[in-house]
A and B are shown apart, each in its own frame.
Chain A
Amino acid sequence: MTSTATPEAVAILIPEVAALIVEALNLDMAPAEIEPDAPLFGDGLGLDSIDVLEVALVISKRYGFQLRSDSEDNVRIFSSLRALTAHIVANRSQ
């Protein structure tokens, strides 16, 4: 852990992570259209497990850490853009 995920730090990073998701998954939408608190799976963006691996890959490249599902709650991390961003803020090394 290199920093604490304050709500302010998370809010600042949300647009960047949203852009990363849109680019990684080639979504036909503007990053700002991703609702920070809406589910990324199912009724929200409708991501599947393959998408999660794709997003995890770009996150690992950009922020310098690998996602783990056995040490962290995978479902919680990917529950929303805000939750994912908070996880990045708390774990990033670059």
Chain B
Amino acid sequence: MSAQPLATALGLDDVVAWLPDGPRRVRDLIADARALAAHLPPGRHLLNVCQDRYRFAVGFTAGLLSGRVSLQPASQSAETLARLTNEFPDLIALRDASFDAGSLPVIDYPALTDADPTTVSALPAFPEAQLAAILFTSGSTGLPQPHRKHWGKLVRNGAAEAHRLGLVPQGHSIVGTVPVQHSYGFESTFLLALHGGCPFWSGKPFFPQDIAAALAAVPAPRLLVTTPFHLANLMAAEVTLPPLAMILSATAPLSHDLADAVERRHGAPLFEIYGATESGQLASRRTTEGDTWTVLEGVKLVPNGGETVAQGGHVEVPVRLGDRIEFQSADRFVLLGREADLINLAGKRTSLAYLNHQIGAIPGVRDAAFFLPADEGPAMTRLCAFVVAPGLDANDLQAALRQRLDPIFLPRPLVLVDALPRNATGKLPRQALEALYADKVDRDR
């Protein structure tokens, strides 16, 4: 059985992480992980909720060394933890900050004073078939759906991303605003360090000034891994950042206007990543260069009866994508919208993604979302739109929309708001829009 080392793009004495008190080499990571593994009780599963990226890496590596699978749920709600505890009775949580684990046994990240990096003589290697992590999606029924990730695939994943972004051979210093446990942060900070040669900042900066400070604490060239929401907040805050070499965005669509403004401000290319927890990242694009995505090396997107299936490369098992895709060639495509977003009004079809793109393209619109309320009575249900557009009024916006949309899709009502209820990763859950609708529209009837 073939094996892959802990790091394929870093040697024992290369820096893997930057901490406030200085760098950690791969050698330090291995020594810390060995010491941590000795502190863990027997078991096969670890819920690693460390907020510090380096401590997460130590926990993950300790898991690899001791045959433990890293469980990475989409939420840390009490209900989710209860389900995981039930399904994995040997589960323990590793934490480095306050974390309410309910009945789940908890280990506080220890001091690891007995770690000795001088005794590390080689990179450990792990079988490609070793189950390293299970990432969970919330699932359409609300039950967490497991997605198993094996070591060999994770190695390929990090290498494919680094190759696509041109980070080989010169690694960049990563500063990530996204949690390391979720798929985007897991791939684009943790895996990109070990298998793309890009050491990460250990913290997860929150306020714009924190992001500036974190970037200043790592050497150039710098790579900022973030989301459209954080980028918009960063632009509005007008905080001066150290020079950036590259910016990555994922989790929600990024508007061309914002991408253009970010690139102008920072003089660095901004790339978007397309992917899903089920499949891992699949494609990338430079947003200012157009709508076309290019699939990552090794990955194949295959049309299959009106749907598209992702397979090959680092994709574990063939995954049916929830997006409608128009191929320009075998490895280049544009997204037409999510299948679940299809709208059918009076026999006319469109998608929420298309409508959101149209309204978002109106000059002056900062953020906007169409919403189709639940069907409630004999009258035909109409779309509603929530729009963030300081300086514009509803009449201006309706006039602009009339230029772009079939009248059946014009919003009734169009509600101006100060912000959309996006969650921490920039997504706009339907429940949040339902609550906004109930608050702004339904109560007035």
Contacts and interface: CB of A to CB of B under 8 A. Distances in A.
Secondary structure of the A side of the interface?
helix
A68 B229 contact: no
A26 interface: yes
B419 A54 contact: yes
10 contacts: A23-B418, A26-B419, A50-B419, A53-B207, A53-B233, A57-B233, A57-B237, A69-B206, A74-B206, A74-B207
Nearest to B217: A70
Nearest to A28: B439
A50 B208 CA distance: 13
Given A57-B237, A70-B213, A50 B424 contact: yes
A60 B237 contact: yes
Contacts of B230: 53
Contacts of B140: none
Which residue, A24, A53, A54, A66, has most C-beta atoms of chain B within 10 A?
A53
B237 A66 contact: yes
Contact of A25 (B208, B233, B418): B418
A53 B206 contact: yes
A43 interface: no
Secondary structure of the B side of the interface?
loop
A68 B422 contact: no
Interface size grouping (class) on chain B: 20 to 34
A49 B423 CA distance: 8
B213 A57 contact: no
A70 B419 contact: no
Interface of B: 203, 205-210, 213, 229-230, 233, 236-237, 239, 417-419, 421-424, 439
B418 A24 contact: yes
A70 B203 contact: yes
B424 A48 contact: yes
A26 B419 CA distance: 7
Given A56-B208, A60-B237, A70-B205, 19 more contacts: A24-B419, A25-B419, A49-B424, A50-B229, A53-B229, A54-B419, A56-B207, A56-B237, A57-B208, A57-B233, A57-B237, A60-B208, A66-B208, A66-B209, A66-B239, A68-B207, A70-B203, A70-B210, A70-B213
